[in-house]
């Protein structure tokens, strides 16, 4: 069980557990002006709950191909103050209805692409790009975004350039990039990206250090997540 300030997450039945990546994306993703939001690969429902807390006016569709994860996410959502605004679906993003349009799409997608897969098929699907290739995510997101919509993701730092190029090929313009460093002495491990359907004149680029030189949580990380973590 993970207790946050306004909700609790049970991830015991989920292939992928609650982690820093999901918390950062849920706190960072651009959702403040959105009325309809889609969370792709919701898992335990963490990101759907975080963005519902951040935007009290939005309705959220949260989807996952793992039925057990959707069942657990449903229980987490029902126990939260945001249950009336979150709709869970056990569905593959590649086959959702074509007429569904969103102001924001958020995803912490599977990103491992090794040839050797995990023997646990549920965990394998949650971890590996074969279950949702980046190009499929980008192409489908573009098709389901409104003209003013945006896509926010968290991916490995080393995949960022290819992801950005693929998004550009599908007419999604990079709006904001944040490279995530474990601490100031280490290279970035993850990258947060937001894309918009409209052409842009500039892109915001910055960094986030999770911990400082003393190996304590950094001020910027605490500010980003303070509305969620109990000890911040």
Q: Compute CA 216 distance to the chain's CA centroid, rounded to the nearest angstrom.
A: 25
86-90 and 59-64 strand pairing:
parallel
What is the SS3 assignment for 108? coil
Specify the length of the chain in residues. Answer: 232
Give the confidence band of 94 by pLDDT, cuts at 50, 70, 90. Answer: confident
pLDDT in tens, 9-38: 999 999 889 999 999 999 999 999 999 999
Least confident among 58-72, 105-119, 183-197: 105-119
Query: Which is more confidently placed, 116 or 93?
Result: 93
**Both tokens of residue 155?**
């991916």
pLDDT tens sequence across 95-107? 887 789 999 999 9
User: Residue 111: is its pLDDT beyond 70?
Assistant: no
Q: What are phi and psi of 190, to 5 degrees?
A: -130, 160
> Taking Cα atoms as reference points, which of 110, 97, 120 lies closest to residue 40?
110
Residue 33 corresponds to which tokens in the numbers above? Answer: 């002006």
Q: Where are the alpha helices (DSSP H) in 128-197?
A: 134-144, 160-169
pLDDT digits (tens, 9 = 90+) for 32-52: 999 999 999 999 999 999 999
Least confident of 67-76, 103-112, 171-180, 203-212: 103-112
Two tokens, residue 5: 């300030």
CATH 3.40.50.150 fits 2-225, yes or no: yes
Whether the model clears a pTM of 0.85, i.e. scores above it, the answer is yes
Distance, CA of 27 to CA of 21 (rounded, Å): 10
Would you tell me how many other CB atoms lie within 10 Å of the CB of residue 232?
13
pLDDT reading at 112 higher than 50: no
Question: φ, ψ for residue 156 (rounded to 5)?
Answer: -60, 145
Q: Are 46 and 23 in contact (CB under 8 A)?
A: yes
Percent of the chain scoring above 90 in pLDDT: 83
| Region of residue 205 (phi > 0: left; psi between -120 and 50: alpha; otherwise: beta) | beta
Report the alpha-carbon angle 193-69-27, nearest 5: 30
Average pLDDT estimate for 128-157: 89
Domain spans of the chain, in order of start: 2-225
């Amino acid at each position: 069980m993970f207790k946050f300030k306004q909700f609790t997450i049970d991830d015991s039945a989920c292939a992928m557990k609650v982690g820093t990546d999901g918390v950062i994306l849920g706190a960072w993703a651009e959702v403040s002006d959105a009325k309809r939001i889609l969370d792709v690969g919701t898992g335990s429902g963490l990101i759907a709950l975080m963005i519902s807390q951040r935007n009290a006016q939005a309705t959220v569709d949260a989807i996952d191909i793992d039925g057990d994860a959707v069942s657990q996410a449903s229980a987490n959502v029902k126990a939260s103050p945001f249950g009336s605004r979150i709709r869970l679906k056990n569905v593959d993003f590649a086959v959702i209805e074509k007429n569904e349009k969103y102001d924001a799409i958020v995803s912490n997608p599977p990103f491992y692409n090794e040839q050797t897969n995990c023997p646990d098929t549920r965990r394998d699907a949650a971890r590996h790009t074969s279950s949702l290739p980046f190009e499929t995510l980008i192409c489908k997101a573009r098709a389901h975004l409104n003209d003013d919509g945006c896509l926010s993701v968290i991916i490995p730092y080393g995949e960022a350039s290819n992801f950005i190029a693929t998004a550009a090929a599908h007419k999604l313009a990079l709006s904001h990039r944040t490279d995530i460093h474990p601490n100031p002495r280490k290279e970035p491990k993850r990258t947060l990206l937001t894309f918009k359907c409209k052409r842009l004149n500039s892109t915001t680029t910055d960094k986030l250090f999770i911990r400082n030189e003393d190996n304590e949580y950094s001020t910027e990380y605490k500010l980003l997540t303070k509305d969620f973590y109990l000890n911040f």
